[in-house]
Structure 1
Amino acid sequence: MDRLFNSHWFVRVIAFFVALMLFAMVNQDNLGNQPSVLPTISNSSYTLEEVDLQVLYNEDDLVLTDAPATVQVNLSGSRSALAYFQMMRPAYEVFIDANELEEGTHRAQIQYRGFPSELSVSVTPSAATIELQEIQTSSFPVQVDLINADNVEEGYTVGTPIVTPINVDVTDAREWLSYVESAKVFVDMEGADSTIEDEYPVHLYNSDGLELEVESNPNFVTVRVPVTSPNKLVPVSIKRTGELQDGLSIENIELEPGDVTVYGPSDYIENLDSLSGVELDLSEIEETTTVELDVPVPEGAERVEPETISVEVTLGEEEERELSSVPLTIMGTTDDKTAVFQLEQPSSISVMAYGTEEQLDRMSTSDFQAYVDISEVSSGDKEVPIEFNGPQNIRFETEDSDALLTVTDQSE
């Protein structure tokens, strides 16, 4: 055997036959029609299972709601071409071109591209049914579900959650969008002893409370949940007593601070909207000045911080302005209680407004109201005081302080 391999002729013969076989494999399609020392090589086939089916459509206006996910692709051709395809795996695509289709259900031809030209290609099935629906967008308010809200640290209270943004948009097919009922985020309050602020994912639910596999925009929202000891920051309401000297009017009253913190039982704090009882005696003010006023502790509260506030009172020269044809409104009517103006009583009156020039210039007719309140008036012909709602630093007067009305009360 060693002698054979050492023979130049033997090696040349073996090399010739190897080259001949390689040539036959590469050129087997041509060799099939020509005489050869090798047997003819026939065509073969190869099947691609579960090939992804792409649907090309107008994604700006439509959503694909129904289409086959995969198809079967059958390839046939020479063994060398199939072997080359299996080895190189060129980029190919099986698709439906629905770019020109509108909303609705369509039967469309399945196309392909990217396969070697030497191979015959067939797709099973050759056509498919697809459904396109119009894209719609709806906005949903974000609800915050507080988990373990009763398990915060003892003595601490949980405030109203603040969500940013307060609404999220959901964009999808019209049919799928109709299933969305609510958008929620969940915040765990277990052991909380300070304000919680973080980003939380948005979950979408249908009317049965089942979560939907639909995305919102944005997917996350910022939630701030105030957690404080039992107290509340409320605005201070100033009670004015006495009267300014003639010719003076209040230009502005500014409080520092304008809000105070009231501490007390949770049930009391929850119902507290403002702190009243701070009195400002106008008869003691002769010019623009700043006064220190005590802040009383209201009944039911434990303490108030701070205990005093600064009140800056800005005065100006009083001007007057006549307002004509001001409608006179009747307040306090019910289904049983009604009232009408008597014949000699006009339903519109003239009103004199008194204040600084700047205050009067800023006022418009929509800023005030002239009215009579019959809620405590019994049936009959009555003279009811005319009252005014308007800017705090402007006072109103009318020539007749009372209006003449006939009151009817069927409940009496």
Structure 2
Amino acid sequence: MDKLLNSSWFVKIIAFLLALMMYTVVSMETTQEATNRTFWTKMYKESETLQNIPIKPYFNEQNFVLTDLPASVDVTLSGSSRLITKAIKVDKNFEAYIDLTNKKPGDNRVKVQVNGLPDGVEAKVKPAYVNVTLHKKITKEIPVNVDLKNTKKLPEGYTAGDVDYTPKSVKVTGAEGMVNQISFISGYVDVGKANEAVRAKVPLRAYNQQGDLIDVKIDPAVADVKVPINKPQKTVPISIETKGQLEEGLKLVSITSSPKELTLTGTTSALNQYDAYKGISIDLSKIKKDTNVTVDVPVPDGIEAVSKKEVTVTVDVEEQNVTKTFSDVPLTLQGVNDKKKATFIDPAEGKVDVTVKGEKEALDSLKKTDLQGIVDVSKLEQGKYDVKIDWKNPADIDLTDAVQEASVEIQTETSSQ
């Protein structure tokens, strides 16, 4: 026995057996603990499915536009109820996402991932993969157009004026293919039943040639619009009424206004009652000469407005009988010949001043040559005589101050011999 104990091989064998026995015991205990741990874990492990979780995409938004991304996915969380509750109701910072940061433009199939969950909670996403498309992003400036709707529903006689809006153009940003499809940017204003100017903030939309909406970003996205609504109007001539009479000796030549017409605004039925504007009256008894007078324009019954607040009325008058003097009117000798000569003694040189009276219009057209004073010496012999002047004046003209006689000297051929 002592020899065995002193043998190195014997001691090594005994040590190996002891080690093997201890490993077996420890291994049995670990397996049992693992079995127990698995049992309790299964006993308290739960799962909960969260529906309609939005997908957060990560990509270069400055250069690309993402399309075809599903709105949401369903996420099933597995783990202890305590941890699941912590993730859903306490932390609230988990998200479903896709990572496109290293993807190129075009169609991409990417895995939906989940982050922000506490340790011990696992996530299963349905669907696990989604198909999306990355597009090159561009920005383009496009003119804006604003159209009117329901113009036929305006009240009777009302019309819509020219639309005033701003901005006149916008910047459109989106996928290159979509932006290039845009045919026009437009907004619409409903003016149906409007009886006064319409002011509105109008959303702007992008449309293709077929009139389909294009999903792009528009900046600014709203236009400030003003649409004037024109009320029924009618333009009528001004008819000036008079009262009183001109003083004796004056005659009314004309009475006119500037402007000659006025535009009335009101309902259609009210406008139909007016063929002329008769709200202006002039008192002729106050007119002494040609006159320009500014008068107020009252608004007639049933009319909302008149285009002018005042007009200028011009009254032209003239004297019924005026006088006019012609100087140096030559007298005409009648009854002289080669054997009988006559010379004027008075008036000298046979010229006189003649004053005539008549209507101004007639006198304005009268000429000196129209006045003829005839001195008839045909029955006179040699000598000096006072001869009556026979004035041949035009019709409607009276001589008010004219020489009636002329002194002449007659010389005959016999007396001169």
State the TM bucket, normalised to the shorter chain: 0.3 to 0.5
Q: Give the TM-score normalised by structure 2.
A: 0.42
Higher Rg of the two aligned structures: 2
